[in-house]
A and B are shown apart, each in its own frame.
Chain A
Amino acid sequence: MTEIVSLDWLALTVFVPLLGAVLSFLVPRIAPQIGLMTLALAGLCVTMLALQVIPGGPVIVALGGWGAPLGLDLRADGLAIIMLGMNVLVGGFVSLGALDTFSARHAGEESARMRRYFWPLWLLLLCGLNGAYLSTDIFNLYVMIEVIALAAIGLTVLTGRLDAMRAGLEYMFASMLGALLFLMAVGLAYLQAGRLDFAGLAVHAGEPAMMLAFALMLVGLALKTALFPLHFWLPNAHASASAPASALLSGLVLKASLYILLRFWVEIFGPGERIGMLVGAMGTGAIIWGSVQALRTQRLKLLVAWSTVAQIGLICVAFALAGTIGAQTAWQGAVLLMVAHAVAKAAMFLAAGRIAQETGHDRIADLDRSHLRPTLAQFAFALAAISLIGLPPSAGFAGKWLLMEGAMRAGAWIWVVVAMAGTLFSVAYLSRPLIGFLRFDRAPDPVGEHHGWAIADAPPLMLAVIAVISGLVAVQIIGVISIGAPFGAVP
């Protein structure tokens, strides 16, 4: 099944964004062009890679000739392809959205700085994300998550405002701590196994030092992925960033640590059911706490950010089903939910940014007092909400269906109930802004239906439409995920 290829789209997938980051930093004048070009090339790389992997099975490439035990292998299986595809798809549309947000139309020093630094940071982030999905050894992963973290923090504080700075610093501390816990775990794992690659480590799974290493990694990754109760840094960081940055942070960045946790869980450590239950319980806590906060907040962007906390919790319910008869179905559901959340949440943040741009504020209570209703952006927001709630035919629906199916097959009805509760909660908090969009009796003037339409509405709308209809190709996505059997053989 596996083959070694000499000219590799695999390595290019990581290095093209890196090159783009450097170039856009050096030549800021044409940074947007470089950015879009890089995204297009990265898209090409992922497509070519997919064309290799889908018919031929997983692809491995040894960077610089360093083989497995030392571990500079990059490997692409179906799961990695899906995650890479998610990166370039969501990243591509967010880049288009960023073109408008950071366009030269907006005067001022702040805008100029954002224009200058957005592209290098974002392309560096893409390099880290792509690298994380292709890594096969834990030290490489450590480097990648640090690259991701540094770029992500840069994006968080891009606006230069004090609230963003403070939130960014909180994020920085959480992220550094998470990374150091991870590094400590890398040290322990090497001490125990003398190897860093997944396969080499898996042999030693279950030994006490490895369990300690896993515990450290679990905490570190939970911190980075903002799993309740380690989510404290997320809402402010995601809500205070500029809209495209929030879309990337919420849509893509969190998924990397979640993906690493999932890989470790399945391919290396295979921890017992009790730890799975613990993560599931944390997920339940996230659903409840994130939803309650989303119901209470007064700001649209904060609501969207808190909803991320809740949605991450829902995805983590899959860990509670590891090792049961429904595990494989649940993992597939979790991956679908990750992709669905990435697309829908990016759309939602972009749409929220557009709404704030048109109406001049993002106070939920005042949405219905304006005669300006950016209907297209609101429509995109509503479509994204459909996917987040998990209504058919969205990818969110398909993911939740599989997650609940896994729980039901395992006979674990408690997780079915948790998923149902999460759904009802998401209806409750997402309907708050929707009601603001649709209420008209408080507006001072008649509300024009097609007012505030702009070309900048296209990226969120396209993403939202993709989120809603992509559930119809869920079976194809699952087919790709299963290449290389990341979750074990098909029963």
Chain B
Amino acid sequence: MEFTLLPLAILFTSLGIVPLLFALPERSARLRTTINLTAAAIKVGLVAWLSWRVSQGTIYGVGFEVLPGLAFKLQADPLAILFIALSSILWLITTIYSVGYLEKGPHRARFFGFFSLCVAATVGIAMAGNLFTFLLFYELLTIATYPLVIHRGTAEALRAGRIYLIYTLAGGLVLLVGTLWLWVMAGGTDFAAGGMMADIAAASPVQATMLFVVLIAGLGVKAALVPFHAWLPIAMVAPAPVSALLHAVAVVKAGAFGIMRVVYEVFGINVAVDLGVTLPLAIAAGITIIYGSLRALTQDDIKKRLAYSTVSQVSYITLGVALANPIAAIGALAHLIHQGLMKITMFMAAGNLAEGLGVKTVSGMNGVGRRMPGTMLAFTLAALAMIGLPPLAGFVSKWYLASGGLDAGQGWVIALLLGSSLLNAAYFLPMLHRAWFVDAGDASAARPVGRRIGWMLSAPPLVTAALVLIAGGLANAPFSPLEWTRFIVAIEYRE
């Protein structure tokens, strides 16, 4: 009996502390940090336990009816574990970073309240057992992230927040219509390996295709699929830990994860291939990959460059799913984790540069390597991993994606990935070059512009960078992202 409650307990570790965090007075910083870190640590523990049990073949589910025939349903399957593990580990690390980042800043009660709510939403998205539940948490994520994006409360932040809200709520509305349509058409919204659309797709392929388009459009907004990506670079006005979380775990990943669920477990990969919708999706992902990289090239603002890089990198996941090939699928799923680790490292490092040195632009990065060696080491590792240098994490994903593309007979994928990697190098290497090999030149190098960077800011990016190294170097160890991914793909392609 207690085991069925495990998913709820994991959800509760982040959701339950939200009212507490809101109610805490601004000055009780120590208590707030204690609550946050304890909850995050407990959650990591629970997730570790859950992963162990699930790897032994247990599947947890809990649910109750909310609307006639429609249930709120949580289910901890291997795919869910993949996402929860990412979010729980990165939540712990980002919480430490946020505590350091917001030290003495205003509105911390509100910040950490919504921060927790945001993580609770990602947990719900991960464990949603049907598209209806997924939708509930998908919207909750929007509500929880909006106050984080506009945290600074400036005119610029609010303008960005408005655009963010318009995009994500419109996307949510489209997803709502899609979910409703699926419910009316198929009489259910459950996620199940192999999907549930086989009969409908055979009977009325046009409607099924339209449904697919509607669902992907609704999810594509959060996944920043071109042309729904415009909110992402604008939303980088958020504080660094929020950007880190948004780009690595919460929002874009929710979209990509939803695309996985829809393709694998609503339609079923074979049905999707028969409908002929996977190739267009792969092409859309390909366009996004190239477009994001091209735009990243010309950005001088560090966070904007990173944001466009996210547009590009997240679509690797969609690409791998859409190639409808088990090897590519392994690459896609592994990239869900790998991209999260790499991007969170870079955003935290960028946050340190801005806070410690006042450096916010690429052109201002001259000589920062010497002034912030630890942070820049982490940044460098992550950037090289993004480019795809073996044996780092990014290389592993790209390798599987490329092999999968070849295996699926889609040779253009190789060219696409090569091109993308070249572009990655083209926009990351100059940053590294400036940081390590160009002298700051003027007196600015000597005088500190920002505040002191304590261990709470400098350690987290190093830890995540180490994880990038481990995820790539030990890719074949048990419980590595790659191994877990193989486990999932075996299930999804069992049909």
Contacts and interface: CB of A to CB of B under 8 A. Distances in A.
Asked if chains A and B are in direct contact (CB within 8 A), the reply is yes
Which residue among B67, B150, B155 has the maximum number of chain A CB atoms within 10 Å of its CB?
A: B67
B140 A392 contact: yes
B118 to A, nearest CB: 15
Interface in A416-453: 416, 420, 423-424, 427, 431, 435, 438-441, 446-450
B66 A408 contact: no
A441 B172 CA distance: 30
A392 B136 contact: yes
Interface stretch (A119-127, A150-158, A295-303, A468-476): A468-476
Interface string B150-170: 101111001001100110011
Q: Among the interface residues B66, B110, B150, B181, which one has the most CB atoms of the partner chain A within 10 A?
A: B66
> Which one of A392, A393, A404, A409 has the highest number of Cβ atoms from chain B below 10 Å of its Cβ?
A392
B143 A449 contact: no
A39 B152 CA distance: 44
Contacts of B143: 386, 391
Given A386-B143, A439-B153, A441-B154, A404 B183 contact: no
A181 to B, nearest CB: 37
B68 to A, nearest CB: 6
B26 interface: yes
A424 B170 CA distance: 7
Contacts of B162: 431, 435
A449 B136 contact: no
Contacts of B109: 449-450
B150 A401 contact: no
Contacts of B110: 449
B26 A392 contact: no
Contacts of A423: 169, 173
Interface string A457-490: 0000000000000011011001000000000000
A404 B67 CA distance: 13
Contacts of A402: 67
B165 A427 contact: yes
B106 A405 contact: no
A334 to B, nearest CB: 15
B169 A472 contact: no
B60 interface: no
Interface in B145-195: 147, 150, 152-155, 158, 161-162, 165-166, 169-170, 172-173, 176-177, 180-181, 183-184
A393 B106 contact: no
A475 B67 contact: yes
A404 B68 contact: no
Nearest to A417: B177
B139 to A, nearest CB: 5
Contacts of B65: 475
A447 B147 contact: no
A453 to B, nearest CB: 10
Contact of B66 (A391, A398, A420, A449): A398
Interface in A111-132: none
B107 interface: yes
B184 A409 contact: yes
Q: Interface residues of B: mostly helix, strand, loop or mixed?
A: helix
Given A392-B139, A446-B106, A449-B110, A439 B184 contact: no
A449 B106 contact: yes
Which of B25, B107, B180: most chain A Cβ within 10 A?
B180
Contacts of B72: 393, 472
B177 A404 contact: yes
Interface residues of A, number: 34
Contacts of B147: 438
A449 B28 CA distance: 13
B74 interface: no
A344 B184 CA distance: 28
B135 interface: yes
Nearest to A409: B184
B67 A398 contact: yes
A474 B66 contact: yes
Contacts of A386: 143
Given A391-B139, A438-B158, A450 B177 contact: no
Interface in B25-71: 25-26, 65-68
Contacts of A424: 169-170, 173
A92 B98 CA distance: 42
Interface string A263-290: 0000000000000000000000000000
Interface in A354-401: 379, 386, 389, 391-393, 398, 401
Nearest to A465: B19
B25 A450 contact: yes
Contacts of A440: 106, 152-154
A412 to B, nearest CB: 12
B115 to A, nearest CB: 15
A405 B180 contact: yes
Contacts of B172: 391
Contacts of B184: 405, 408-409
B343 to A, nearest CB: 27
Contacts of B176: 401, 404
A162 B126 CA distance: 57
Interface in A69-116: none
B177 A441 contact: no
Contacts of B142: 391
A487 to B, nearest CB: 13
Most chain B C-beta atoms within 10 Å of own C-beta, residue among A386, A398, A405, A474 = A405
B177 A416 contact: yes
Nearest to B150: A438
B165 A431 contact: yes
A416 to B, nearest CB: 7
Interface string B239-280: 000000000000000000000000000000000000000000
A357 B450 CA distance: 41
Q: Which of B25, B135, B136, B184 has the most CB of A within 10 A?
A: B184
A401 B180 CA distance: 8
A435 B169 contact: no
A404 B106 contact: no
B66 A475 contact: yes
B252 to A, nearest CB: 20
A336 B66 CA distance: 13
Contacts of A438: 147, 150, 153, 158, 161
Q: List the 9 shortest-distance A-B pairs measured between CB atoms, nearest first.
A: A440-B153, A392-B136, A441-B154, A408-B184, A475-B65, A449-B26, A391-B139, A392-B139, A474-B67
20 contacts: A389-B169, A393-B72, A398-B66, A408-B181, A420-B173, A420-B177, A424-B170, A427-B166, A427-B169, A435-B162, A439-B153, A439-B154, A439-B158, A446-B106, A447-B107, A448-B26, A474-B66, A474-B67, A475-B66, A475-B68
Interface of B: 22, 25-26, 65-68, 72, 106-107, 109-110, 135-136, 139-140, 142-143, 147, 150, 152-155, 158, 161-162, 165-166, 169-170, 172-173, 176-177, 180-181, 183-184
Given A393-B66, A449-B26, A475-B68, 15 more contacts: A391-B143, A393-B72, A393-B140, A401-B176, A405-B184, A409-B184, A424-B169, A435-B158, A435-B162, A441-B153, A441-B155, A449-B110, A450-B25, A471-B66, A472-B72
